[in-house]
Structure 1
């Protein structure tokens, strides 16, 4: 038996105004599928890129869905589903194809493998804001790069969702977060969130400042959200035999590699972690334990109410005026 849902769709690539709220029919969950009633969803930069045609794969048009990250409750399960039951509180694991399974809606049909349990005692708005940012920062810095206590970690795009999460992930490991932001307006906010040092890239030389702040050595790790030719320049900010991690491409030009050898360069995609059951289990435990002991506290920039606010939420994302996550309460 089918169910009527309210779903955000787009039929052409473009700005926030291409997003529309429409009634759709969802079939009953099939084998391995779960119907989830969405309580809150969070925006990610990837979704703005997907909407505008700048993501690493293109939407299926017309009628593409969008959205990686949501918190909700299981409404119904299909045959063969054993990990979840109706009434369970869940998060989406952001390992799905956006056109087919995007979570912008009040009801979404998800593969069982695209869900994880919601951390105990966490409200929907907070829960919607945790998975992508913390699993990315944890997966890149801890699992892939082996961050250690005392490491200086240069985090570009420090006011983004992943940037603010990476500050806390670094602090939790005993590392020293050094973050960049474009304007002076966000410096104090980032210091308040736990950054050891903040470099304002519009007025300060990021490479020189990183060297100065590390006593001339450079950072043991660089976590970069920008890419392009900028990534090559970051080689000068790292210690000899340091690690550079490119996880984003806010600059849509090809990523250029530095020539400061020896140097480890990692191209990080979070599907490496969330694509396996064991990876999802490790990330869920890390996030749940961090929320429980207070070392991880998601930064929510603004909460919008209702699916009709999705365009306004995307406009805020495009403006880069926010710090942390943008959440829409459904």
Structure 2
């Protein structure tokens, strides 16, 4: 019988366990996906721990917001995809009901896109959250253009690495921020034009030095918290800071610089717009086909080792790369 990862109480990875459940028939407008691989994301950790913004009903909550697989069945009225199509699931906002850490999940047909031919199963499972968040924040919200300089905090994570690649693909100049100077070579290899390591540099001073005092045009803030003030100080007048991450739960300071716009970006909100999803999918397909966009994968584990996968994530042993779970 198909396997499903569930948890009955909030807590660490040890609350996860696998149960057997029958498959569910897709309702009108839905598809059933035979999941081939899923990925572990920060939101999964928050949901499991009980710290996510949305309330999660217990017991028997599912988990997993990102996956790839093959359409197994379609509900009434679904014509855009058919059984046998390989797809990426673009969003599971109610993952505690439809979570992707399972052999099968049933989702609205509007939440799947064709899997890029240039990605293997593990890469496809690890692609959407990072690249769609980075694309949405940089392009849809930030309007990043060729030649502009973009500062990326939390650049060592999956979204940060994706943002470096997307910025480079657009012809912009990505400047990465990391906490450790030992990461500099790795981030340059990923496509960063410059790297600012906070264990040796002050962000605003380093940006002024790198931009001849002008500041950057756009900031992608994947950390938030008190450090956002430095990012604002590093932005040119008329520039923008797009806050799209939650790595630091402490409140960000109110900006005293009215010449810099600070906006919040929430990926699930944009993923409800089919036109935006189509642009994201087109960007991912084009970048993959040109060999410019590739997720960084840490390790691949079987679904039966889901607790170990989440423990590795909690320990930070993945180094910002994706942990992929094969089904």
TM-score, with structure 1 as normaliser: 0.94
Residue aligned with 2:2, SS: strand
- Which residues in structure 2 correspond to 1:122-137 (within 5 Å)? 122-137=119-134
Q: Deviations over 1:85-141 (max 9, x none)?
A: 110111101143121111111111112122111112432111111111111111111
The alignment status of 1:313 with 2:271, answered yes or no, reads no
Partner of 1:138 in structure 2?
Answer: 135
Task: For residue 233 of structure 1, report the CA deviation from its aligned partner.
Answer: 3.1
What is the alpha-carbon root mean square deviation over aligned residues?
Answer: 1.5
With over 3 angstroms needed to count, the CA separation of the structure-2 counterparts of 1:122 and 1:51, relative to structure 1, is same
Contact 1:43 1:326 in 2 (8 A): yes
How many residues are matched? 326
The alignment status of 1:221 with 2:218, answered yes or no, reads yes
Residue aligned with 1:17, SS: helix
Partner of 2:232 in structure 1?
Answer: 235
Task: For residue 272 of structure 1, report the CA deviation from its aligned partner.
Answer: 3.1
Q: Which runs of 4+ in 1 moved over 6 A?
A: none
The alignment status of 1:258 with 2:245, answered yes or no, reads no
Q: Take 1:118 and 1:137, find their aligned partners in 2: how far apart are those partners?
A: 18
Query: Which of 86, 91, 98 pairs up with 1:89?
Result: 86
Contact 2:146 2:171 in 1 (8 A): yes
Q: Take 2:311 and 2:202, find their aligned partners in 1: how far apart are those partners?
A: 30
Q: Take 2:59 and 2:320, find their aligned partners in 1: how far apart are those partners?
A: 32
Give unmatched runs, 5+ long, in structure 1: none
With over 3 angstroms needed to count, the CA separation of the structure-2 counterparts of 1:211 and 1:319, relative to structure 1, is farther
Q: Deviations over 1:211-261 (max 9, x none)?
A: 212212211111111112222332111111111010111112233332112
Contact 1:227 1:256 in 2 (8 A): no
Query: Which of 169, 185, 190 pairs up with 1:188?
Result: 185
Query: Which of 165, 171, 186 pairs up with 1:168?
Result: 165
Contact 2:179 2:197 in 1 (8 A): yes
Q: Take 2:10 and 2:200, find their aligned partners in 1: how far apart are those partners?
A: 35
Contact 1:301 1:326 in 2 (8 A): yes
The alignment status of 1:101 with 2:94, answered yes or no, reads no
Q: Take 2:54 and 2:151, find their aligned partners in 1: how far apart are those partners?
A: 28
With over 3 angstroms needed to count, the CA separation of the structure-2 counterparts of 1:202 and 1:318, relative to structure 1, is farther
Residue aligned with 1:328, SS: strand
Residue aligned with 1:229, SS: coil
Q: Take 2:2 and 2:188, find their aligned partners in 1: how far apart are those partners?
A: 42
Q: Deviations over 1:260-286 (max 9, x none)?
A: 121111210112331122111111111
The alignment status of 1:179 with 2:176, answered yes or no, reads yes
Query: Which of 99, 102, 111 pairs up with 1:114?
Result: 111
Q: Take 1:237 and 1:275, find their aligned partners in 2: how far apart are those partners?
A: 32
